[in-house]
Every structure is written in C-alpha cells, then in structure tokens.
Amino acid sequence: MRQLLRRAVPALLAGVLVAGCAVDVVRGEATPGTSGPTDIGVEEFPVTGASDEPIDQFARNALADLESFWQTAYPAFFGAEYQPLAGGYFSVDSVDLDASAYPETGIGCEGSPTAPEDVAGNAFYDPVCDVIAYDRTLLQELADDYGRFLAPVVMAHEFGHAMQGRFGFAASGRSILDETQADCLAGAWTRWVADGQARYVTLREPELDDVVRGFLLLRDDVGSDPDDTEAHGSFFDRVSAFSDGFDGGLAVCRDEFGEDRLFTAAAFTPTDELSQGNAPFADIVDWVATTLLAFWAEAFPQTFGGEFEPPALEGFGGGAPDCDGLDGRRLGYCADEATVYVDETELAVPAYDEVGDFALTTALSLPYALAVRDQAGLSVDDGAATRSAVCLTGWYEAQWYTDAFADLVPAQISPGDIDEAVQFLLQYGVDDQVLPDVDASGFELVGEFRSGFLYGAEGCGLG
C-alpha cells in the first residue's frame, strides 16, 4: 500500500467490479484420450531441431494434443475450419546450440527469419511465418521449478497466439489483452486435458497449484506499465485469465476479453518505486482494523440483516491462546472471546517480510471473515467456512482496489498488492496451521478469492 493525504471518495460498496457476466460452461471437444498416456512419434509429429531429451518429447506430446483440441474446438467456437501452423515448430537448446539443425532461414521463414540463438530463454509464436519456437532449456527449468505441466501450459499459451493469428488479435492493439486471452485459451485446453480428453499428456488437478505459482515468474515486473507494447499482465491478471478458461471454457475466452476487461497491473509512482508499495507493518495493522470494521459495518446489514458487532483483533507469539476455534493454529476466530487471533511470529511477520504488506492484510482478513460468518449464524469450522472466508476477503480487498477507504485511512492500494494476496493463499493458505478443515487446492482458493474480488457478495453465494 502507499501512504497519501486524506481525500474524500464514494461510500463503501459503491464500486462494484465487473469483469463479464457468468456464462454457461461450454467446452471444446476432441477425440477422447486413451486409457493411458503415450508418446507421439518423431516422424508423426516433427519438431525442427528437437532432441531425444524427455522435455522435447513432452513438448511434442503437448503440441500434438493442442492440434487435436483445436481441430474440433476452432470450428465450434470461431466458425471456420482449423488451419494447422504453416511454418511448423522449432526447438532450440540455448545451452548447447547446434546451428546445423536449422535451415538457412533459421527459425521462421524468409519473411521473418530468427537466428536460433535469439530463441534463448523464450518461447514465442511468429505470426508472419506462422511458427512456434521454444528454448527447451527454458522449458526444463520451468518443469524443474514449477512442476512438469507448466511447460505444456507455455506451449498452450503460444498456440493460443496462433489461434489469435486466425480469428484476430485485440482491435485496440493492447498487448495485455492478447496475452491474457492466450492465457485463457491455455486454461480451456488445460481443463480438456484434466477431463481426460487428451491422448498424449495428462494432468492431475493438484498440479495446477504449481502451474499457478509459475505465473508468478511469468508475470510482468510489479509496477510495469500495463499499456507497454509487450505487457502480459500482473500475477492476478494472468491467473484470472487462465482460470476463466479452465472454469468457463472457450466461450469466455472468446467473449470476455474486450476493452472493458479489468486489469490490476499498474505502473509505479515515483514514491511507490522507492518503497515497492509496502507500508510499515504497524500501519497496515491499524489500517486493516479500521477498514475491516468500516466495511463490515456497512456490508453486514445489507447482506445478513442486523447490526455488526466487531470482534477484537489481537496478535500473539510463542504459543496460541487456549480457546475453541484456534486449536493451536496460526490464525483463527474464538467465538467465546469474540476475538480474532493471528500469530505474529510464525505467520504475520514472515508473510509481510517474504511477500508484502497485502499478504498481511489477507492474513488479518481471513479470520475476521469467520467472525462475520459467526454473527450471521453460519458455520466457522468446516471447509465451506474456510472457502467463504477466502471469498469474503476478496470482496473486502476489492474495496481497497476501488479506493473506498481513502476517507478513513491515509493509504491507497499499490501495484502488486492484489498479487500479494494471491501469493499468500498459494504459499500459506494450503497449510493446515493457517486454513484448516478445507480440501481445496491453492488453485481453488485463488478461485474463491477471485470470485469475491470480482463479484462481491454474489460471487460468494450471498447475493
């Protein structure tokens, strides 16, 4: 968050974020997968420059399944016959480059030649030559650091650009729209794989946590200009787009990426540049206590009826207080004491130091949302309660995004803050010491947060 002078803004809840309406899930279909994954042959699916290394075979398998998916999905959703890539596929090893493995035009074609060494550390689609090229060293590093399925998702993203080359890139020319729509298309294909439709690659949904963490590496630098000619979007923007495709299918990718698409990416101000958008720990605690009270004092009567009685908010260290609802965990709500507790030593301070100030904001909001549910007569100790608390936290943090608190505290959201909330859920939210009694993956928790952030009470099933 950034500190600033006080100024008046509209009342709380006035700014409702809308990123497209909910739609029926409609997915592309292709030939169902076999009973188990197999490898497609080198002759059957050639990739220029490819080696016999497993990462190249994995990329080839993913590309073959992508072709199968789009052969059926493209006519169904874009009303034209699918056209295979005219220029084919290229693999480069940036660590041990063999220039003799490529034609005289290098990567691409005469109209847009690319030297093989220029592929290093990258994967891309060239619309002039209609080719996809990738550095297999990069794919291997992504697989090593973020799980095996991130490499296929990168291939799916580039294949998405190839499809945009057919149905059209963003009319505005904004890179961030093209890139996040390609993420959405990759998400739709990933769901098709998860549903067992692919022939050569497989996916277990828990692996999606690693994929989502990988988007942290692939996002734009925090504070980058979202209108830059190569902008890809914030962590939240990219994960949101991928989730849209995974949950909603290609219809969402086709229809919900217009000029009114919400993006949280924003450029740093000179002040933000110095602080990287992080305010002092004590200030965050004070501001969050103030804004949580103000938000729920208004939202609770509208959503549940009756007046809201705020819980106390206390930190602890060296051992959790002895009360029902906490049970030795690092955060929780004690109904008997009407108190929200957060472990400063093992959770609040590390999350603030490692992730940022909005990770601390999220840590404080989650048990506070349980207090809200308790007053509303709803459960506080099961999976439904935990999911709801995550969603309600998204709703509350959306108010920061719309500047609804600027007349209450001398602070405003900074670039990267919403990314920090997502990071907290992925890093800490899956820990039973933080969020117990929930069988949700990190990917699913982020989905709950996103629903609250974008759609408020309705997104949390309370509308």
Residue ending a domain, choose from 255, 290, 306: 255
Those residues with Cβ within 8 angstroms of residue 303's Cβ, 6 or more apart along the chain or in another chain: 376, 457, 462
C-alpha neighbours within 13 Å on the C-beta side of residue 369: 25
Q: In total, how many domains does the chain have?
A: 2
**For residue 320, what is the enclosing H or E element?**
none
303 shares its domain with 194: no
CA-to-CA dists, residue 437 to 380, 384, 425, 432, angstroms: 10, 9, 15, 8
Phi-psi sector, 49: left (phi>0), alpha (psi -120 to 50), beta: left
Q: What is the pLDDT of residue 212?
A: 93
Specify the amino acid at residue 110.
Answer: E
Decide if 47 is inside a domain.
Answer: no
- Gap between the Cα atoms of 207 and 438, Å rounded: 17
Decide if 139 is inside a domain.
Answer: yes
Nearest one of 97, 34, 228, 238 to 154, comparing CA atoms: 238
Decide if 288 is inside a domain.
Answer: yes
Decide if 161 is inside a domain.
Answer: yes
162 shares its domain with 275: no
As given in the structure block, the two tokens for residue 15 are 């700014």
Q: For the chain, how many residues are written? A: 463
CB 312 within 8 A of CB 342: no
Strand bridging mode 88-92 / 131-135: parallel
The pLDDT profile of the chain, 463 residues, written as one tens digit per residue, is 654 432 233 344 543 343 333 333 333 333 444 456 799 999 999 999 999 999 999 999 999 999 999 999 999 999 999 999 999 999 999 999 999 999 998 998 999 999 999 999 999 999 999 999 999 999 999 999 999 999 999 999 999 999 999 999 999 999 999 999 999 999 999 999 999 999 999 998 889 999 999 988 888 888 889 989 899 999 999 999 999 999 999 999 999 999 999 999 999 877 666 666 788 999 999 999 999 999 999 999 999 999 999 999 999 997 889 988 788 899 999 999 999 999 999 999 999 999 999 999 999 999 999 999 999 999 998 999 999 999 999 999 999 999 999 899 999 889 999 999 999 999 999 998 898 777 789 999 999 999 999 999 999 999 6
82 shares its domain with 219: yes
309 shares its domain with 380: yes
> If DSSP codes are grouped into helix, strand and coil, which group holds residue 91?
strand
Those residues with Cβ within 8 angstroms of residue 275's Cβ, 6 or more apart along the chain or in another chain: 2
81 shares its domain with 226: yes
95 shares its domain with 221: yes
C-alpha neighbours within 13 Å on the C-beta side of residue 179: 23
- Gap between the Cα atoms of 194 and 203, Å rounded: 5
As given in the structure block, the two tokens for residue 137 are 């060293």
Nearest one of 410, 388, 101, 182 to 284, comparing CA atoms: 410
284 shares its domain with 382: yes
**For residue 333, what is the enclosing H or E element?**
strand 331-334
240 shares its domain with 298: no
Q: What is the pLDDT of residue 318?
A: 78
203 shares its domain with 93: yes
Nearest one of 397, 379, 382 to 454, comparing CA atoms: 397
250 shares its domain with 287: no
As given in the structure block, the two tokens for residue 232 are 């890809």
Residue keyed to tokens 């990567």: 107
Decide if 393 is inside a domain.
Answer: yes
Task: Please compute Rg for the chain using Cα positions.
Answer: 24
Residue keyed to tokens 């080198």: 42
Decide if 379 is inside a domain.
Answer: yes
Measure the CA angle with vertex 171, ends 215 and 70; round to 5°: 60
CB 347 within 8 A of CB 434: yes
- Gap between the Cα atoms of 97 and 92, Å rounded: 7
Residue keyed to tokens 């206590």: 289
189 shares its domain with 333: no
CB 179 within 8 A of CB 257: no
Decide if 263 is inside a domain.
Answer: no
Measure the CA angle with vertex 306, ends 303 and 312; round to 5°: 90
Domain carrying residue 290: 2-15+270-459
Residue ending a domain, choose from 255, 287, 320: 255
Q: What is the pLDDT of residue 4?
A: 43
Measure the CA angle with vertex 200, ends 198 and 204; round to 5°: 65
Those residues with Cβ within 8 angstroms of residue 104's Cβ, 6 or more apart along the chain or in another chain: none
291 shares its domain with 324: yes
Measure the CA angle with vertex 187, ends 249 and 53; round to 5°: 140
Sign, CA torsion 92/94/98/100: positive
Does the pTM surpass 0.85? The reply is yes
Please name every residue paired with 88 in a beta bridge, in sequence order, or none if there are none: 131
Decide if 49 is inside a domain.
Answer: no
Measure the CA angle with vertex 403, ends 399 and 409; round to 5°: 95
Residue ending a domain, choose from 189, 223, 255: 255
CB 360 within 8 A of CB 463: no
